[in-house]
Chains A and B, each alone.
Chain A
Amino acid sequence: MSAVLAVLLQLVQFALVLLVAPLVTGLARKARSRLLGRRGPLVVQPYRDLAKLLRKEAVMAENASWLYRIAPYLVFALLWLATALVPTFMTRQPLSPAADLIALVGLLASARFVLALAGMDVGTSFGGLGSSREMMIASLAEPAMLLVIFTMAMFVHTTSIPSIVDFVLGRPVGLRVSFALAVISLTMVGIAETGRIPIDNPATHLELTMVHEAMILEYSGRHLALIEAASMLKLVFYLSLIAVVFAPWGIVRADPDLAGLGIALGAWVAKIIAGTLVLSVFEASIAKMRVFRVAEFLGGAFLLGLLGTIFLYVSQAP
């Protein structure tokens, strides 16, 4: 594979996740609306929203600092990078040695750190409320995610996604219980981190229930567009991660040919759509939790991850 082609495919990967992200969010909204008996907005509505925000001027609070201004760019870049590092259609790419699961968690943590600080910059009560709750949720979700990673990594002896894909595809892996626990736990973490129901409601502006929206309340215009795009990317990140780690079938591992790439791309799109639909069904069938019930939800995810790690020894006895 020539270097030019490799770089080109890497750029395709970056462009792909960015272009698909609003579509996934649109699909999730549409599906949930239909399940709730509403017609819902068009699937392409998020693109229109982003375009509208980009066209508007940005209104900033008088006492906003430089941190407030650079935060959207940083958050967007960190999440775009993290999402693009998760393999979608092929695993061997120039940047794929950076696709280390723990490093990806670190990138997400950095993005969250910057955004939580930006929420506190103007000094309004809503910003502080959002940041405080976001950090509470993250402080439980991040260890749960790391435990899922431990489960995977102890089983396959690696934290690099391409190697995990090789391992999973390389031998018949049956209904491993640890994996099942890990999937459930990672899904719970993903739901919490992307601010879906029952943790947070992405559609709400009711003061006392919002988390993410409270944090970014002061943002407008292009800054808001970037943050919205970043949270759409985060949804793709989790769907893509679950797809590539637990169901990597179809992905290209060697030198790509056109047919293989087409199949891999089709498989990825199908997996993402399936994941989005499952998420919508889940969201439509559950009510939002009280904030302090979230700790129990994520504590459950954490303990499922721990149980998964422990069950490694049951599943693969010496």
Chain B
Amino acid sequence: MITVDKDKCTGCKVCVRSCPFAVITIVDGKAEIGEGCTLCGVCVKVCPEGAITITRDRKAKVNLEDYKGVWVIAEYNEGNVRNVTLELLGKGRELADKLNEELAVVVLGHEIKDKAKELAKYGPDKIYIAENKYLAQYTTDAYADIISGAIVKYKPSIVLFGATPNGRDLAPRISARLRVGLTADCTGFDIDEDGNLVQTRPAFGGNIMAKIISPYTRPQMATARPNVFKKPEPKEKEAEIIEIPSKILPISIRTKVLETVKVGEQAEVSIEEADVIVCGGRGVKSPENLKILQELAETLGGTIGGSRPIVDAGWLPQHKQVGQSGKTVAPKLYIAAGISGAIQHIVGMRTSDTIISINTDPEAPIHEIADLAIVGDLFKIIPELTKQLKQVIAERSK
């Protein structure tokens, strides 16, 4: 509950201005908290009079002590484990060690046991495997049924998913079934003094960060943004293999995947998992010119992306779009070529480790967030850069 001490409140409006959800109004000279309050506590922090207090008096319905261990739900793409799964195993190890509990990875698929066993070198103590021909391809129903069943049976305390299209399709389904807390697209995890998982995520287009806990329900579930956590170095290590119940009635799968269609280059990594993205904007001028960006991306071992105007023009497929109406990316290196840097674009890439911008306009907003801003002509600079890079790489391999 949130309460305003009317005797202390001076009606100064500091809380009104600071409320991220715009639910505070001044009524008769005193602050009044309206509908839509999420108890985020910003007003409590900013109130100069200390007039606002939050009391949390809820109790858990389950015995939290019964839930132990950190689970990572593995995701495979055409038989290859996705990077985000390995990144989560690295972070999961850290969380499990802090809790002094076990780390497990959960693998669903068809004839996947040998591949699942290979995950042992990334640190889990246990590998849960569900094998069934109906798990060969991801479907919401089959995956939600098997994982929900396993959670009820083994009672993990934390369950982490990659914030991929499938992870974000699956995790909310399971959270609603089990009626537990779920936090989307996290960029940080920690354990607080009470042993709760503290989940950090951006909101409002990355304008603010929020720390979220789920103190009354177990397991605590979250999806994590790819490319944020470090992939652990593989080590020789044993893990206990546990086969989980995987009986599936075909009739329980209510969506049927008739076809999987790939658009664009075949062997590319997804834009959300790429280490390097070369992203083109309006300044690229024509679809043919994307070739020079593509060549640079290939030389750097990365992939190509596009801003909204060039995706809308049909030069690149929709799944290549970076920005608010496309994908949010956080690669190690982001090269923005001919992109001016509208805020809707910036919110989709500003958490990249390193940003290089190339744009002829010295006033382009993209230059303001770049680590290295080059005011110049991309048509001259990028081919030259690719050429010099190839030389550097060739010399190294000698």
> Is the A/B pair a real complex?
no
B interface residues with partner A (beta carbon < 8 Å): none
A interface residues with partner B (beta carbon < 8 Å): none
